[in-house]
Amino acid sequence: MGTMASLMLADGADLDEAQRIASDVLGSLDERFSSYRSDSEVSRLDAGVLPELSRDLRHVLAACDWLDQTSDGVFSMRPDGADAPLDVAGYVKGWAVDRAADGLLAAGIGDFCLGVGGDWRAHGRRGDGRGWTIAILDPLDTTKPRALATLGNAAIATSGRYERGDHLRLPPTARGGGTADVTTASFTVVGPRLAWADAFATTAFLKGDDGLAWVAQYAGYFGAIVRTDGSMVADVDFPLASASAPPFPGIRAPYAPAGAGR
């Protein structure tokens, strides 16, 4: 996937077993669904040489198609245009972490925090009994946290202008026209599954402030924005750590869209 994976465990967990499970799942799904590998299922499908679609590939394509439809094309399997290579990483990265987390839980490992590329899926508690605390980095100064979120059994994903700059663009296939929001520096989403949180964060980042209401229509998912002027606003149910508000001035009153369909 072209990025780093990290695994944190509570005291007493079998580190070797947990690492093996996570590595096997992430490595296998990377091989099968990376658009950078000519022998992956995705690349062979795009080249027209895949004789049969696996159950997992059918799932990924259906999920990406649903995201395209619900976002009016802001989320796209071909973000660089209709003639560009097929790219399902916007869903697969989070889905792969979810699959690895499911493997850890099936093996009886219930207290962990697993992350890929700065997005995390947490479960249970840390060794000291507290929930997992994840920093939302300040897009204007990535050496500092902008806010903290405390997770129990949840996922958190952030899309924004960090190391890769303005790499997120409104796909030319997006419906309704318009341009991507330019006042959003980062958009973070929390929710039960990283597959959806990650895809929602990417989509909502391009929608800007409208992304808060868009995310809130999906039960259990909540957003937070850091703007390019340094201000921050979060959904009323976004799990900001209580200790994060005083050190990080500028967090405005919680955003609670009317009729959001929780």
The set of residues, in sequence order, having a beta carbon less than 8 Å from that of 241 and lying 6+ positions away, is 133, 147, 148, 149, 150
The set of residues, in sequence order, having a beta carbon less than 8 Å from that of 11 and lying 6+ positions away, is 127
pLDDT tens for 198-208 read 999 999 998 88
259 part of a folded domain: no
Give dist(CA 206, CA 63) in Å, integer. Answer: 19
pLDDT of res. 68: 93
pLDDT of res. 181: 63
249 part of a folded domain: no
Give dist(CA 255, CA 233) in Å, integer. Answer: 7
- Pick from 6, 54, 61, 49: nearest CA to 32: 54
251 part of a folded domain: no
252 part of a folded domain: no
Q: What is the mean pLDDT of residues 166-193?
A: 72
**Looking at residue 212, which CATH number applies to its domain?**
3.10.520.10
Specify which of 143-152, 164-173, 248-257 reaches the highest per-range mean pLDDT.
143-152
Q: What is the mean pLDDT of residues 30-50?
A: 95
206 part of a folded domain: yes
Angle between helical axes of 89-106 and 194-207 (0-180°, round to 10): 150
pLDDT tens for 76-91 read 998 887 888 899 999 9
248 part of a folded domain: no
165 part of a folded domain: yes
What's the domain range around 26?
5-242
pLDDT surpassing 70 at residue 165: no
Number of structural domains the chain divides into: 1
256 part of a folded domain: no
What are the DSSP calls for 183-241, one per residue?
A: SEEEEEEEES-HHHHHHHHHHHHHHTTHHHHHHHTSTT-EEEEEETTS-EEEBTTS-B-
pLDDT of res. 141: 85
Q: What is the mean pLDDT of residues 12-38?
A: 94
